[in-house]
Amino acid sequence: MANLGNPQETIAVLQKYNFQFQKKFGQNFLIDPHVLGKIVEAAQITKEDVVLEIGPGIGTMTQYLAESAKKVIAVEIDRNLIPILKDTLRYYDNIEIVNEDILKTDIEALSAANGGAKLKVVANLPYYITTPIMMSLLESHAPIASITVMIQKEVADRMQSGPGSKEYGSLSLGVQYYAKPELMANVPPNCFIPRPNVGSAVIHLSIYDAPPVAVKDEKLMFRLIRASFNQRRKTLQNGLNNSQELSFSKDLITEAIASLGVSPTVRGEQLSLAQFAALADYFTEHA
């Protein structure tokens, strides 16, 4: 039975090992059993599942995950946490602890070593590298079925917003090209030790087998998206003209925008993913 997850137990473990929190690793440990239960429920873990946990900390959520999953692979960067994890997780025989940076971890190999399982990623993510971690997981095309993570509330809002809203941007489109995001819970700062300065949220991403829109040149589409949101207040025409990453003529840009049937003064933040895909295809076919 999971025994961590309440403030007294966490403090006892931290004191036993004289553990010092490292700000550079974004360490805010969960101390709320209700929230831990919610994350595991949101991740829909069954005894068939191999779970990849990013940043297990002292193993609090790892215990909850190990109760529900076939196996948990827990990747932790901070080597000071490894002896603690070996202690707190000693009664479980279905947990593998890996002392590595998740950005350098070969996820494909982890899956292969586990019979090619489609992994379910679950994490209370370090907030300082949420976006790089999420985008590298998504862009890797590694065998991942879903990603259920605690992140900064503001970032969760950006991931699931659509055209016209002020949170909509490259991150929304980057995430929504690969996955269907769903906000599962809002979590206040007092559920963590130490308390973060921001509100948090649990978001669940179901990874698509194939992207929801077809595009001939994925990389070009993302260059167009970046160019459009680099200068949010400018028109799409100006954003694409001024981009260092693109070298299309002014006339071709005008034609491409007209091909969407939108106003010539449209701003990038008004375009949907399908429209960005159509824009990319226009350039691919006419450049």
Q: What is the DSSP string of 210-225?
A: S-SS--S-HHHHHHHH
Give 61 or 256: the residue with its C-beta nearer to ligand SAM: 61
Which part of the chain contacts ligand SAM (CB under 6 A), choosing from 63-71, 123-131, 209-217, 218-226? 123-131
Q: Three-state SS for 93? A: coil
Give 67 or 255: the residue with its C-beta nearer to ligand SAM: 67
Answer yes or no whether residue 49 interacts with ligand SAM by CB under 6 A: no
Cβ atoms of 97 and 74 within 8 Å: the answer is yes
Answer yes or no whether residue 281 interacts with ligand SAM by CB under 6 A: no
Of residues 77, 201, 205, 278, which one binds ligand SAM by CB under 6 A? 77
Of residues 2, 13, 19, 27, which one binds ligand SAM by CB under 6 A? 27
What is the phi-psi region of residue 192: left when phi exceeds 0, alpha when psi lies from -120 to 50, beta otherwise?
beta
Angle in degrees, 0-180, between the axes of helices 250-259 and 273-286, rounded to the nearest 10: 130
Q: What is the DSSP string of 107-176?
A: HHHHHHTTTTPPEEEEEE--GGGHHHHHHHHHHTT-SEEEEEEEEEHHHHHHHH--TTSTT-SHHHHHHH
How far apart are the C-alpha atoms of 221 and 239, rounded to whole Å? Answer: 14
The Cβ of residue 67 has, within 10 Å, a number of other Cβ atoms equal to 15
CB of 282 to ligand SAM, least distance (A): 39
Residue with the two structure tokens 């589409």: 221
Which part of the chain contacts ligand SAM (CB under 6 A), choosing from 76-84, 112-120, 181-189, 263-271? 76-84
Give 116 or 194: the residue with its C-beta nearer to ligand SAM: 194
Answer yes or no whether residue 57 interacts with ligand SAM by CB under 6 A: yes
Give 149 or 224: the residue with its C-beta nearer to ligand SAM: 149
Of residues 17, 21, 26, 145, which one binds ligand SAM by CB under 6 A? 26
Site residue total, ligand SAM (CB under 6 A)? 23
Which part of the chain contacts ligand SAM (CB under 6 A), choosing from 22-30, 83-91, 113-121, 213-221? 22-30
Token pair for residue 153?
A: 């509330």
Q: Three-state SS for 207? A: strand
Answer yes or no whether residue 78 interacts with ligand SAM by CB under 6 A: yes
Give 33 or 211: the residue with its C-beta nearer to ligand SAM: 33
Q: Three-state SS for 50? A: strand
Of residues 13, 51, 61, 221, which one binds ligand SAM by CB under 6 A? 61
How far apart are the C-alpha atoms of 69 and 53, rounded to whole Å? Answer: 11
Of residues 51, 73, 102, 257, which one binds ligand SAM by CB under 6 A? 102
Q: Which residues bind ligand SAM (CB under 6 A)?
A: 25-30, 54-57, 60-61, 75-78, 81, 101-103, 124, 126, 129
